[in-house]
Amino acid sequence: MSASGDALDCLIVGAGFSGLAMARALQRQGGQRYLVLEKAELPGGTWRDNRYPGAACDVPSHLYSLSDAPNAHWTRLFPSQAEILGYLRELASPIEREGRLRYGERVKAAHWDAQEGLWQVRCASGAIFRSRDLVFGTGGLHHPAWPGLHGLDDFAGPLLHSARWDAGFNPAGKRIGVIGSGASAVQIIPELARDAAELHVAMRTPPWVLPRPDRRFPEWLQGRFAAWPWLRLAVRSSVFVLLEVLAHALIHPRTAFWARWLGNRLRRRQVADPALREALRPDYPVGCKRVLFSSDFYPALCAPNTTVHRGAIAAIDARGWRLADGQRVDLDAIVCATGFDPLRLREDIEITGRDGHCLSRDWADRPAAHLGIGVAGYPNLFFLLGPNTALGHNSVLFMIESQVRHIQALRALRAQRGAVAVEPKEEVQRAFLLGLDRRFSGTAWSAGCTSWYVDARGRNIALWVGPALAYRWRTRTPRPADYLFSDGPGESA
């Protein structure tokens, strides 16, 4: 709808898991004028953009799906990128059929109009939309973080990023250098090692890797899942409980002895060379960086065509890279498995709230949102997977569903009060962040590692500190005293 048309009840930005979960909730509610804007030509978000070889989820499939859209026909315990993308396209299909999903619309700016009590949203196409509520389901894991290495752009061969993979790239017979040792690297390295003539892995910090017990679900078992919903629920619940145990180990590192034992045991079993085994030993607590799950990463590093370089890369030129110790490595292609920039939203989209609030300015030092959802100074603005709602142990879809329920409850509370707008109080938002900081201290995440969980000053900008179940409890019912309700232009109560 353009500025000249009727206003929407809710405008959703992004058609990944977050945006589609919100749209499904509005669809179930009925009577809602809503629209989903997606910058690409397909839904899927992270799972549309990350198409590198070996891309898959490290959360078991029956938990990595929406609770109101169970899938009995997952083919594996840990689903592949293609299978997850197919599931997301199925979720998007009924929303598309109703004409509620518009592709190719990249949001450039959003402005709160206090007189009308509406958000005005401008897209790169020139389209303008007006909506009572604005929900960002853009997440934080889709803007590639390129390594800040001198000469990277001078490299003459193919330069790829795991989040911007070139489907036409053929690794066969090539000398390939991989930068990074995180979640995408652990998946992509075994795939490249199969075909590359030489594989060089630049690894400054070896990760903690635990076994990944992937299994194929035979057709007879998929049939049982379809016929017996209680079986799907039992599997989902069991996986959830097991992953919540991991949260306890991350919050109380001394109890993580079992995770350390599993990681050390896997490394001893799969890495025969004592020198390489020692080079791959993490020197930080389990969970300080993201815990990774793989049963073929270490074998790939032990392959005869693979070389692990523990020294930092000093520079890159047209022919390859030079390490800090002076060693030169000639390469035909470079793969950057260096993750994402979770703070790009504030740069990409100009968001202005009431009384001159500007999100890029308000979040310049550190992003902050009450419960990771609402932001003081921005009426009727909601984030899904906003600041401090990512997890280091469990399924983020559980968090998304908690947030969608909270937003819907908050919208209902606003309607009951006859209010035009709602936003969290600044002191409540500040108290929420202070509480997170207190709980963050002493956890595995706070042990001083460099990761996307923390900013350059070591402050937690991404993680919910605690079990996922605690977040569900915290968000179950909005507390009216935590919010400002606006009854009209310039009024609040």
CA–CA gap between residue 385 and residue 396 (Å, rounded): 8
pLDDT of residue 113: 96
Dump pLDDT digits (tens) for 29-60.
999 999 999 999 999 999 999 999 999 999 99
Q: Please report the DSSP string for 50-119 in residue order.
A: ---TT-B-SS-TTTSS-TTS--TT--BSS-BHHHHHHHHHHHHHHHHHTT-EEES--EEEEEEETTTTEE
Q: What is the mean pLDDT of the chain?
A: 92
HEC string for 269-322: HHCCCHHHHHHCCCCCCCCCCCCEECCCHHHHHCCCCEEEECCCEEEEECCEEE
> If you search the block for the tokens 């606006």, which residue do you land on?
486
Residue 4 has pLDDT above 50, yes or no: no
Count CB-CB contacts under 10 A for residue 304: 7
Dump pLDDT digits (tens) for 77-115.
999 999 999 999 999 999 999 999 999 999 999 999 999
Q: How far is CA 91 from the centre of its chain?
A: 18
> If you search the block for the tokens 């300015």, which residue do you land on?
361
Going from the N-terminus, what domains does the chain have, and what CATH number goes with each?
Answer: 8-143+341-486 (3.50.50.60), 152-216+221-336 (3.50.50.60)
Three-class secondary structure of residue 336 per DSSP:
strand
Residue 121 has pLDDT above 90, yes or no: yes
Three-class secondary structure of residue 463 per DSSP:
strand
Please compute the mean of the pLDDT values over residues 117-132 and round it to a whole number: 96
Helices (H) and strands (E) in the chain, counts: 14, 20
Dump pLDDT digits (tens) for 225-281.
999 999 999 999 999 999 988 888 888 888 888 889 999 999 999 999 999 999 999
**pLDDT top residue among 259 and 133:** 133
Q: How far is CA 19 from the centre of its chain?
A: 13
pTM of the shown model: 0.93
